Amino acid sequence: MHRVRRLAVAVLVALALVAPASAQITRPPAVPLVAVDPYFSVWSFADRLTDEGTRHWTGKPQPLSLQARIDDTVVRLAGRDPRQVPALEQVSVAVRPTTTRYDFRGEGVSIALEFVTPAIPHDIEWLSRPVTWLRWTVRSLDGQPHQVKLLFTAPGHLAVNTPDQRVAASRVRMPGAEVLRIGSQEQAVLGRRGDDVRIDWGYLYVAANAPGTVSAVAPQAEAWSAFARDGSLPGTDDVDLPRPASTRTPTLAFVLDAGRIAAEPVVRQIVLAYDDLYSVEFLDRRLRPYWRRNGADALALVKAALDDGPALVDRARRFDEELMADLERAGGPKYAALAAMAHRQALAAQKIVADVDGTPLMFSKENFSNGCIGTVDVMYPAMPQLLLLNVELAKATLKPILEYTRLPRWRFPFAPHDLGTYPLANGQVYGGGERTEEDQMPVEESANMLILVDAVARAEGHARFAEPYWAQLAGWTDYLAQKGLDPEHQLCTDDFAGHLARNANLSLKAIVGIGAFADLARRGGRAAEAAKYGALAKDFARQWAGLARDGDHFALTFDRPGTWSQKYNLVWDRLLGLDLFPPEIARAEIAYYKTKMQPYGLPLDSRRSYTKLDWQVWTATLTENRADFEGFIDPLVRWVNETPARVPLTDWYDTVTGRQEEFQARSVVGGVFITMLANPDLATKWQSRR
């Protein structure tokens, strides 16, 4: 019997560590559990799920707790409390695009714990639904039957900004299911904005429909105590509500009876959902989440998640397998692993809402940067993921900015930086706002918008999306024609590095932006504009090579010999098929960058040893062979595995120490998909899905 048990354990470990390319990342800095949108986002910041409590991406506690009762022994699967309950041994963790899987073993059983979020971009309906399935698959390891019960608790912390806020909870009637909800007493809808904040309106729902499921609204400690005693829950719901989330921890508690585990595995699931009622205010209009656009409510959301859960989980698995296989074709297993880590994080830093006519609008939150909403130079690095996996999401992201700049209130000849502070998209707040040009990013944002609108046209094969906004696009192009070749003292997207004049990489972006407008004009049948701006872009590109050349490479600025910088913007010349810059420029830069590589990647430029994760992958995409590409990607995966910053992926870190500089959980990591976007066959395959 012992030999059988050892063999079974060995098989389990082998299966847990097999084949997803994500096995190349052995120690994620933080692990996505519930990664839906900027507010509904719960992570583990530890090696083992039982090492500490789970947290919101900001790091504030949102402690989900999972326990199992195996025969008469109670063990922990998630959370470090209660301390007297031992942790079941965690065998592995794997992060795939839509799914995080933990494998545990002990007490004669194995438990696979999966957190599945429908982050399937070509299905906007399900992508917009704020749900995550939590699934347990329990097997006997030793050939003996075992009685297993599972406990899940979710506290009111998930529905408030700070735990001193009062919460109320209730039971929701739904035939054939146990459904509980919890939310703040105050319910100040869209009443809070900012960066390091959490939602305190709307309601967290937890639901299960397996036979034998029981649920209770209970103080957390009482739920744990009852489960430890006999596998039950308190017999009546907590009536001492509302009260602060930190006072006797009001909790939604569920016990799922897996029954007698013998030869066949047993699967149980819980649905976690968050109905925020209204998600974003855009130009003083409150907008519903996209999934509510046709009148659906929270009960419909939960019922669909319960009914469709098994099919959606299987669909997510197939999506993961296909996407990972194609990512590996595009850039190898380490690249695929990096993209898997980025996928849910990037989408969960954005929110899809319905415009007044029901069309989707998508708003990003500039997490741990300044909390801006709809930031153009956050859209720019995030866009490869959207352009690759659903161009409708790319258009939904660009449309709010384009609509805003049609209004008389935006009176500048260049594109704006942002739309406000999340979740209030009522007008730019960065720099001079709508008042002055001070500390704006005029060349940066104008070129960003032109490049991205042309990228949409290239994906769709026509320029119809651009037509209503032609006046703005043409005006921004004229601005770049005047100011772009040799930029004045100003900020670029790497604003943390400070102002620069004569920024070579910014100039390069402006030239590509002009070329992008020429391409738009060509696609839109505007031959004269296409010829005019196409010729200008080519002339500027020729001048750029002379201005920026510094021996065997190209300088940081036109007036600083002996300097260098990543010319990551050059990648769009290739992606858009503009052919403005001769390939020798990229070849010279790549050869030079190889001499500047540090243990954890390539610095942003010659001034400091810090870097940006997204830009490094863009730079890597300029290489012309797999060996050179992997030379850029290998240090990034090493950094992911070794960084001391145990937070959702930061995109700004030091290449020598691996330490986080700032920023975390941002959508910009969607930029790592640019390598697959640059593969014509794979891009065409994925862009054809609707």
- What are the tens digits of pLDDT across the range 639-667? 999 999 999 999 999 999 999 999 999 99
CA gap 378, 397 in Å, rounded: 11
Q: How much is the average pLDDT of 523-545? A: 98
Predicted pLDDT at 497: 86
pLDDT at 509: 98
The answer to whether residue 7 scores a pLDDT higher than 90 is: no
Mean pLDDT of 2-14: 36
Mean pLDDT of 76-97: 97
Read off the DSSP letter of residue 35.
Answer: E
Judged by DSSP in three states, 428 sits in coil
**What band does 19 get if pLDDT is binned at 50, 70 and 90?**
very low
413-461 pLDDT, tens per residue?
999 999 999 999 999 999 989 999 888 999 999 999 999 999 999 999 9
The residue written with tokens 């560590």 in the block is: 17
Q: What rounded mean pLDDT belongs to the chain? A: 95
SS3 (DSSP) at 265: coil
SS3 86: coil
pLDDT of residue 22: 40
Look at residue 9 in the predicted model and tell me its pLDDT.
Answer: 37
pLDDT at position 495: 82
Q: How confident is the model at residue 340 (pLDDT cuts 50, 70, 90)?
A: very high
Please report how the helices 442-460 and 376-389 are oriented relative to each other, as an axis angle in degrees rounded to 10: 10
Inter-CA distances, 202 with 187, 498, 505, Å = 7, 39, 44
* CA 180/CA 169 separation, integer angstroms: 7
**pLDDT (tens digit per residue) in 234-251:** 999 999 999 999 999 999
Location of structure tokens 């704020």: 130
Helix runs in 557-599, H state only: 571-575, 583-593
Cβ-based burial of 660 (10 A; exposed 0-12, middle 13-18, buried ≥19) = buried
In the block, residue with structure tokens 């730079």: 619
pLDDT surpassing 80 at residue 537: yes
| Mean pLDDT value of segment 117-139 | 98
* Percent of all residues in the chain with a pLDDT value above 90, rounded to a whole number: 94
The H or E element that residue 172 is part of is: strand 166-174
| Euclidean distance between the first and the last CA atom of the chain, given in angstroms as a whole number | 53
- pLDDT the model gives residue 14: 36
pLDDT of residue 439: 87
Contact 43, 664 (CB under 8 A): no
pLDDT of residue 432: 87
- Retrieve residue 655's tokens: 């290449």
Asked if pLDDT for residue 571 goes beyond 90, the answer is yes
Where helices occur in 231-364 by DSSP H, the ranges are: 298-331, 333-348
Q: Which of 228, 266, 23, 248 is nearest to 139 (CA)?
A: 266
Q: How confident is the model at residue 492 (pLDDT cuts 50, 70, 90)?
A: confident
Report pLDDT for 5.
34
Contact status, residue 97 vs residue 343, Cβ threshold 8 Å = yes
- Phi, psi dihedrals of residue 364, rounded to the nearest 5°: -90, 155
How would you list the strands of the sheet with 89-95, edge to edge? 89-95, 99-106, 109-116, 131-140, 266-275, 203-208, 177-184, 166-174, 243-244
Q: What is the pLDDT of residue 4?
A: 32
Q: Could you list the beta-strand ranges (E) of 176-242.
A: 177-184, 203-208, 214-219
Question: What is the spatial distance between Cα 342 and Cα 96, in angstroms, rounded to a whole number?
Answer: 9
* pLDDT value at residue 234: 96
Q: Could you give the CA distance from residue 604 to residue 582 in angstroms, rounded to a whole number?
A: 23
pLDDT > 70: what percent of the chain? Answer: 97
Distance CA 599, CA 604 (A): 14
**Span 293-324, pLDDT tens digits:** 999 999 999 999 999 999 999 999 999 999 99
Q: Are 172 and 181 spatial neighbours (Cβ–Cβ below 8 Å)?
A: yes
Task: Inform me whether the pLDDT recorded for 373 exceeds 50.
Answer: yes
Please check the confidence at residue 523 and state whether its pLDDT lies above 60.
yes
